């Protein structure tokens, strides 16, 4: 896998990239996690009868879904339509995304034999993803494209549990009971993640986000011992590209300083912690570091509460974000499928109107 930096579009003035550098762009940039599809009727029409993983490996469909919220909402960045298990599927792991359930793995990892059975990931298997990025770079003009991948801990939880888990009991049992096996597994997954992101970077994405959806299930001590080294290796392995690295987790208020230390240029914050408090914690943990850049953090459920409530909360979060060197407005997690697209569009317009 080459790590030479690709020729990039000149998007130095794009609000998202300026904010990620800790600057104050002419408007606060906004994009939404899970904006590529889910709540849009045009997405549901396009995806009808097409399984999720098939869609993720169909370049024209990936590009179209990624572009739909740009056309609809006027957000400041596109997020590549994909799924965190795509690199696992590309490697040849037997899994599927079951509607109403999520990723289901046929042979969960539980011992050395199941670990050794995990295949290597040939980057060529990800060519459809790179092709989709190429299409998008030609279509997006001055709008940045964010690539993404699931972080090693979250992918490990699916591989160990065999699917989604409420308490991650098998994951934690293996983590504490078989630490050597655990670190070998996380190292393997970090390789997958790096390859997946490097393919996206090589094809031209302008930023990346590393999602650690389930890291909030861990204490800071466990995170630093069992997860931090592997997420750090992934983020360090992307430094050559010189593009913003966003790191986001759910329920990770106690982990934010460690997640930044792992190599994040932008720290994603969910709705449970006010942005100004997140900034205070980040600064207290690293007083000699540059002032932090944050992303977030409107509760997705607020979008169902009526416009007066949405406007009040958007204005509050926008004000709290001024405590950071830069602020990228986002939800504190993903867009819910039943969200009214018109509310999202109106939210973008409001954010862009604020100074």
Angle (CA) 173-174-176 rounded to 5° is 70
Q: Is 224 a catalytic residue?
A: no
Element (H, E) at 278: helix 275-285
Distance in angstroms (rounded) separating the CA atoms of residues 293 and 289: 11
User: What does the CA dihedral 317, 318, 320, 322 come to, rounded to 10 degrees?
Assistant: 160
Known catalytic membership, residue 316: no
Pairing assessment for the beta strands 245-249 and 266-268 based on DSSP bridges: parallel
Active site residue 43: no
User: Which one of the listed residues 8, 21, 24, 83 is annotated catalytic?
Assistant: 83
Helix (H, G, I), strand (E, B) or coil at 98: strand
Residue 83 bears catalytic tag: yes
Is 38 an annotated catalytic residue? yes
The CA-atom distances, in angstroms, between 50 and each of 37, 55, 96, 309 are: 13, 6, 13, 36
Strands 95-98 and 102-105: antiparallel
| 53-to-187, 212, 282 alpha-carbon distances in Å | 24, 20, 37
Distance separating alpha carbons of residues 346 and 213, to the nearest angstrom? 27
Q: Which of 38, 125, 233, 281 is catalytic?
A: 38
User: Phi, psi (5° rounding) for residue 214?
Assistant: -110, 5
> Which is it for the CA torsion 79, 85, 90, 91, positive or negative?
positive
In angstroms, the CA 162 to CA 95 distance is 9
Distance CA 320, CA 45 (A): 38
132-164 b/e with 16+ CB inside 10 Å = b? bbebbbeebeebbbbbbbbbbbbbbbbbbbbee
Options 43, 125, 158, 192, the catalytic residue: 158
Per the residue annotation, which of 43, 47, 192, 270 is the catalytic one? 47
d(CA 288, CA 241): 25
Cα separation, 136 vs 333, in Å, equals: 24
What residues are labeled active site? 34, 38, 47, 83, 158
């Amino acid at each position: 896998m080459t790590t030479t930096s690709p020729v990039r579009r000149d998007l130095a003035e794009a609000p998202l990239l300026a904010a990620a550098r800790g600057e104050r762009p002419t408007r606060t940039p906004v994009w939404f996690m899970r904006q590529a599809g889910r709540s849009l009727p045009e997405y549901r029409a396009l995806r009808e009868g097409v399984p999720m993983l098939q869609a993720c490996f169909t370049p024209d469909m990936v590009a179209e879904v990624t572009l739909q919220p740009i056309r609809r909402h006027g957000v400041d960045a596109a997020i590549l339509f994909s799924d965190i298990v795509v690199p696992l599927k590309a490697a040849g792991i037997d899994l599927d995304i079951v509607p109403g359930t999520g990723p289901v793995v046929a042979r969960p990892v539980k011992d050395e034999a199941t670990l050794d059975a995990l295949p290597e990931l040939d980057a060529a298997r990800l060519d459809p993803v790179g092709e989709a990025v190429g299409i998008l770079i030609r279509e997006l003009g001055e709008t940045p494209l964010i690539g993404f991948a699931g972080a090693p801990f979250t992918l490990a939880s699916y591989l160990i549990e065999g699917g989604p888990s409420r308490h991650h009991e098998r994951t934690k049992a293996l983590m504490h009971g078989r630490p050597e096996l655990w670190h070998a597994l996380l190292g393997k997954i970090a390789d997958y993640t790096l390859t997946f992101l490097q393919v996206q970077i090589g094809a031209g994405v302008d930023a990346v986000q590393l999602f650690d959806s389930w890291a909030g299930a861990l204490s800071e001590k466990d995170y630093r011992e069992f997860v931090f080294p592997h997420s750090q290796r992934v983020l360090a392995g992307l430094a050559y590209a010189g593009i913003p690295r966003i790191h986001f987790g759910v329920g990770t208020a106690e982990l934010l300083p460690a997640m930044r230390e792992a190599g994040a240029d932008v720290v994603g914050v969910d709705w449970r912690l006010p942005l100004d408090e997140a900034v205070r914690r980040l600064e207290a943990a690293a007083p000699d570091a540059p002032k932090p850049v944050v992303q977030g953090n409107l509760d997705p459920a607020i979008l169902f509460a009526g416009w007066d409530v949405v406007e009040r909360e958007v204005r509050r979060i926008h004000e709290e974000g001024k405590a950071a060197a830069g602020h990228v407005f986002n939800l504190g997690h993903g867009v819910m499928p039943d969200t009214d697209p018109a509310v999202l569009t109106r939210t973008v317009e409001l954010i862009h109107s604020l100074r």
